[in-house]
Amino acid sequence: MALPRIALIMVPGTLASRAGARSELIRYSFERSGLQRMTGHEILEAVPELAGIAQIEVDPGNEHAVATPTDLARTALHLNEVLSRPDIAGAIIIHGTNALEETAFFMHMTLKSPKPLVITGAQRPFTAMSSDGVINLVDAVRVATSPDAHGKGVLVVANNEIHSGRDVTKTSTYRLHTFKSRDSGPLGFADADGVVLYRAPLRRHTTESAFTLRPATILPRVDVLYVHAGASGDLAEAAVNLGARGLAIAGSGAGSTGDMRATLARLAREHGVVVARSSRVGEGRVALDDNWQEPGFVAADNLNPQKTALLLALALSQTTSPTTIQQLLDTH
């Protein structure tokens, strides 16, 4: 039987980067090393084991940009086209780890295919001794070709673990175990003897998601504001004056907006700005009807601030109703 065909999408990141020495783990950007990142074809040549797992098709549009919501939407539309091809069984994204979770979440919300999209990256460049890039990539391809990955939404594979794109977050600057799903744990594992999945995401995603991107879709501006000792409402005021239609608050504790509260409540009341309360602490839910709720505020459940901002932008492209947006937050 022919091996499944997997599309390989690349965005800038560590996995494909090269340093001038095997011992160099932190200075590997082109500006520091003078070495260009590897292409998809170069990676496939350097890891011939991949050819025994799948037929890998390098996307001619590599490297794709994912720095802004507009970039993410463009990449998502492209992936929808790729995954709609009957000869494609799934796709892999090689991604920088810094913003990997945001791309994973956005694709989890907007792709319209049950075929697996698996995202992976590396904490060490391809040229480093004990680089994690090769095994992460091999594991990602193994997961993408597993029948059990079908219909599970976007998956993130790293350090032999399989995580949902909704739940995963980066937790460490340099350690290899950086990706965690803090509240829920991994979906399964890419073990040496096989890919094992133990559970599936229950929130709406991909084919069941309420969000459908079109080329004309405009994602409104949403800014993230961080609550800390000394934070005031001035930044919220400035963000709205610069065009923000939504504000994702990295609240203290269980979503407190601190001294921003009065300003945020006024902006919601007078300007129709939707304020989504998340938390900066990293674990746990933010509840709707609690000590810090105001009219026009919504609660982000256990989504972190950066994912809250993306979902709020998607929601605002369809509605400005806080009630409807809360329903979307509660179900995705």
How confident is the model at residue 144, as a pLDDT? 98
- Which class is domain 222-331? alpha beta
**Where in the chain does DSSP place strands (E)?**
5-10, 55-58, 90-94, 117-120, 154-158, 161-164, 169-170, 179-180, 188-191, 194-197, 222-226, 246-251, 274-279, 297-299
| Annotated catalytic residue within 14, 75, 120, 145 | 14
- Quick: pLDDT tens for 230-265: 999 999 999 999 999 999 999 999 999 999 999 999
| Mean pLDDT, residues 20-28 | 95
User: Alpha-carbon distance 330 to 61, whole Å?
Assistant: 35
Entry pTM: 0.97
How confident is the model at residue 248, as a pLDDT? 98
Q: Can you tell me whether residue 65 is helix, strand or coil?
A: coil
| Mean pLDDT, residues 180-192 | 97
Which residues, at least 6 apart from 128, have a Cβ–Cβ distance to it below 8 Å? Answer: 19, 22, 23, 24, 25, 28
Query: SS3 sequence, 208-221?
Result: HCCCCCCCCCCCCC
Q: Can you tell me whether residue 306 is helix, strand or coil?
A: helix
| Through-space distance between the first and last CA atoms of the chain, rounded to whole angstroms | 38
Residue 14: active-site member: yes
Q: What angle do CA 83, 86, 89 make, to 5 degrees?
A: 60
pLDDT class of 1 with cuts at 50, 70, 90: confident
187 backbone dihedrals φ, ψ, rounded to 5°: -75, -30
Average pLDDT, the chain: 97
- Which class is domain 5-208? alpha beta
- Quick: pLDDT tens for 131-145: 999 999 999 999 999
pLDDT class of 175 with cuts at 50, 70, 90: very high
| Mean pLDDT, residues 123-129 | 97
pLDDT class of 285 with cuts at 50, 70, 90: very high
Q: Do domains 5-208 and 222-331 have the same CATH topology?
A: yes
| Mean pLDDT, residues 309-324 | 98
The structural domains of the chain, with segments of one domain joined by +, span 5-208, 222-331
Residue 223 has pLDDT above 80, yes or no: yes
Crossing angle (nearest 10°) for helices 305-316 and 100-110: 30
